[in-house]
Every structure is written in C-alpha cells, then in structure tokens.
Amino acid sequence: MAKTKKAPRPRADTPKGFRDYFGTEVDARKSMLDQIAAVYHRYGFDALESSAVETVEALGKFLPDIDRPNEGVFAWQEDDAGGKGDWLALRYDLTAPLARVYAQHRNDLPTPYRRYAMGPVWRNEKPGPGRFRQFYQCDADTVGSASMAADAEICAMLADTLEAVGIPRGDYVIRINNRKVLNGVLETMGLTDETRRDAVLRTIDKFDKVGEAGVRELLGKGRLDASGAYIDGVGLSDAEAAPVLNFLTARRADNAATLLQLMVAVGDSAKGAEGIAELQEMSRLLAAQGYDEDRIIIDPSVVRGLGYYTGPVFEAELTFDILDEKGRKRQFGSVAGGGRYDDLVKRFTGQSVPATGISIGVDRLLAALMAKGRMQGVARGPVIVTVMDRDRMGDYQAMVAELRSAGIRAEVYLGNPKNFGNQLKYADKRHSPVAVIQGTDEAARGVVQIKDLVLGAKIAESASLEEWKSQPAQREVARADLVDEVTRLLSQDG
C-alpha cells in the first residue's frame, strides 16, 4: 500500500512587499499619530474612518502617476450569480474614499467638511528598498471651499504638526506652488500637440531628480542617464524650452521676488496670472498668521501629481542631514505632500466640488524622528512579577493586580519558573524596568524584593564597587509598600 504523502508545511515568510510591525514600532507610530491628531483636532477637523475596501468604480483611475485603469490596486470580483458582481479593491490612498464618502453623505455633512483620516493603504506595485505594498497614511482635507484660506490653513497646520511631533523650526520647510502657473507656462509655449505636451509634463516631473541641466537636455535632444542609456528628448529648441526653465528656476530670496519671476514665466497667460494671484493670497494669509519664509516658501520646483491637482500644491521637506547606509551625509527629504483637487468629487455628483488636503507619509516621518532622536527606539516594557513557588500563583496575581490598578503596566511570568535566570532573561528581552521577587522566606516575613533592572544594567556596564554599594540595584521592602516602591523607581528611571 502506497504511503500517504504528507502535505508540505506552509512557509513562514512575509509576502513580498509587506512587513510585520512589532510592539515598539507600533507604540511609536501610535504616539506620533496621537500628537498629529491633537493638532488636526485643534484646527477643527473631525476624524473619519472609511472602509478599507471600495468598489473599483469608486476608486477610479486616480492613483497618482499611474495612467492605467484599475492597475496598481489589489482587486477582486464579487462572486454573485452569473459572475457579474462588483469589482472591489483595497483602497490605495485615503483621498479617493473621501470623495465617495462626501458624495454619498453630502446632504448630512457640513459645508465645508473638514476631516482627517489615518490608516493603512495598499498598492499593488513592484516593491523595493523602503517601498512596501502596505503602508500608513495620515491625511487632512477640506471639502467644499474654494477659498485660498483653506489651502493656507492646511499649510499652517502642517507646520504646526511637524513641530508638535518633534521637528524643530529650521529643520523643515513647506514649499508651495500652483498647477495653474504651470498651465500658464504651457500656454505661452503654444503646445497644442497632446503627445508633446504630455512629454513636457513628464520631463518637468523629473526636475527634482535630474536638476536644471537634466531637464534642459530632456526638453531638447536628450541625455545619458546614470546607467549610460540614452534617453530621447522632447525635441524643443532652446527658445521653446526657455519658459519651462524660467518657471522651474524662478525661486528667489523671498516670495515677492519669486512671484515677479513667475509673472515673467507665464507671460500673457490669464490662467497663469490666476495661479500667481492665488499664491500671493496664500502668502498674505500665512504671513498674517505668523508663518513666514523661515517655514513656508513659494517654490516653483514643487511639481506633484500632474494629472491630479488643479491649483496650489505643497510639500513638506526636512532639511537636516542624516547618514545613509554607507555613512554619507544626505538630506532626509519630503515627508508630506498635497494640494487642491477640485475634480475628484465631480466624478460622483457631476458638479465640481472644491477640495484641498495634505497626506503625511507616516513611516518616513517616524524614521525622521528616530534619526533626530525624538522617538525612543526601545519602549519600556512591563514590570515583571517573578514566580518562585508555583503553588503561590494567586499571591503573584494579587501583586500584579495591585500594580495594574495603580496604572502600572505589569505581568506575571507565565513560563516555566524552574530556572530563575530564565525569568530575568525574559524580563531583559521585554525591556522591563523592574522585577518583583518573593520566595517562601520573603512571604513569611511579609516583604518583597524589588530589582531595579535599569540601574542593574548601568552598574553592570560601568559602575565602580563604591557606586554599587551606594546605589544597590535590589532592595527589600514591606509587601504593603510594593506599589509605592515600584512607582518611585519608575519615576526615577523616567
């Protein structure tokens, strides 16, 4: 009789492009998001939790910089009778669901509607270093207001948010631009051929990667990229390319001078003049609130989501240096971006609904805070009540219940208590600050041993014998003083 073949065991591997987050990372992210939510709430924004799943039809093809319907998402079809069920997908951002929510509930929502949302999003894209298929976003949007005050407020709120989480003034800058100014530049160029116009837009979008010289080459005959491959250019003459380069390099020492340069770049374009007027209004409103050019500047090189935004666009960039994996200095770069998108809700209602918002890259901002030392890489674990006698588990549970009632994070060791050294190793792995010890002798005398694991680690590293004697890492206290002593040690260890 043939031997039954066992089914192979599943591989314990994280799917490609995904990762697991453990306690310290989750706690750090929650702490940061709580600080961000406090700022948003202070500005009058309400929380919204929408479904992680939307219909593909509702999501549309608005995934930034992907011009392929239904590409870039995790989608499946409902198993309805006849195989004609709706196609559903995991949300790829938090803005597309907002458009659906507003269109669906607009009669019950205030206008304008100010909301913030935080949560995971999913993109079915090729993963790479630091690029995952699931990641967190943190958004704030105002729907229903065409006023530049809404855009200025978003920028001011973003500045306050960065400072609230621990990015000091001087270590960040918020750069703003306007899509209408770019449209005005394209008008002055007289580009009527759609293919050529799209090629120019794609080239402009590469400015932050290849710089002025690279864009000049790509607008002209072409250039060699870093790999040595030749990339064909758009084929514009120097005179034809001049308005684009004037636009991209219009940044001057102050916002007023920058706006003058932009006026030159847009020429007689009415659309371009409208964009400049909007930038002037934003600059005036921000200055009135005390947000000067040390925090928020007009910068024409900010070009985001060319097919997505309809007016002002903004980006938050961290300006301090960090060391890369090879020890080289580099700036951290962008951690947030957004702008005005007045056509998204129109897909549902048929009527244009003005909207503006910002999205923070949660993982990038958290990494920046770690790099600045503003977030602790190791969280403090629970107080560990060790087990010296299995038959006295009720006594140990009573101790931990008292600690928890006092608001102290605590647990009883639930592994095999036979080897006490393993209990302390467990406490070390949990980053526990304190261990509580009570054997039969201590119980008979009505005392407990309190071991300061933080001080013990410091003593083991460098303390002299005299320091050891003057500051013992373990002391005996009355059982009734357990909570008070643990509280004292925790406050002492910070």
Asked if residues 72 and 124 have their Cβ atoms less than 8 Å apart, the reply is: yes
Whether 435 shows a pLDDT value over 90: the answer reads yes
| pLDDT category of residue 242 using cuts at 50, 70 and 90 | confident
Give the type of residue at 100: R
* Position 69 pLDDT exceeds 50: no
Identify which of 264, 383, 249, 353 has the alpha carbon closest to the alpha carbon of residue 303.
249
The pLDDT score that the predictor gives to residue 322 is 72
- Which tens digits make up the pLDDT trace of 276-327? 999 999 999 999 999 999 999 999 988 776 567 899 999 999 988 776 666 6
Residue 319 and residue 330: Cα distance in Å, rounded? 9
Tell me the H-state helices in 436-481.
440-445, 453-462, 465-470
Q: In angstroms, rounded to a whole number, what is the distance separating the alpha carbons of residues 37 and 161?
A: 9
> 329 in helix, strand or coil?
strand
Domain 383-492 falls in which CATH fold?
Rossmann fold (3.40.50)
CA distances, 93 to each of 54, 117, 315, 407 (Å): 11, 10, 17, 37
Q: List C-alpha distances in Å: 10 to 7, 235, 317.
A: 9, 55, 43
Segment 325-334 shows an average pLDDT of 73
131 burial type by CB count under 10 A (0-12 exposed, 13-18 middle, 19+ buried) = exposed
Higher-confidence residue of 209 and 213: namely 213
Q: pLDDT by residue (tens digit) across 140-197?
A: 999 999 999 999 999 999 999 999 999 999 999 999 999 999 889 888 888 777 778 7
Confidence of residue 464 (pLDDT cuts 50, 70, 90): low
Mean pLDDT over residues 32-50, rounded?
96
Q: Angle 319-325-329 (CA atoms, 0-180°, nearest 5)? A: 35
Task: Provide, rounded to the nearest whole percent, the portion of the chain with pLDDT above 90.
Answer: 52
Q: List the domain boundaries for the chain.
A: 23-186+250-371, 383-492
Q: Is 193 left (phi over 0), alpha (psi -120 to 50) or beta?
A: beta
* Intrachain domains 23-186+250-371 and 383-492 with the same fold: no
Look at 107 and 234; give whichever has higher pLDDT.
107
- List the one residue out of 140, 121, 111, 158 whose CA is nearest residue 48: 140
Portion of the chain with pLDDT greater than 70, in percent: 90
CATH architecture of the region 23-186+250-371: 2-Layer Sandwich (3.30)
Is residue 317 packed enough to be buried (19+ CB in 10 Å), middle (13-18) or exposed (0-12)?
A: middle
Mean pLDDT for all residues in the chain: 87
The predicted pLDDT at position 380 comes to 82
pLDDT band at 465; cut points 50, 70, 90: very low
Element spanning 79, H or E: none
Distance CA 317, CA 14 (A): 32
Q: What is the residue whose two structure tokens read 């205030």?
A: 110
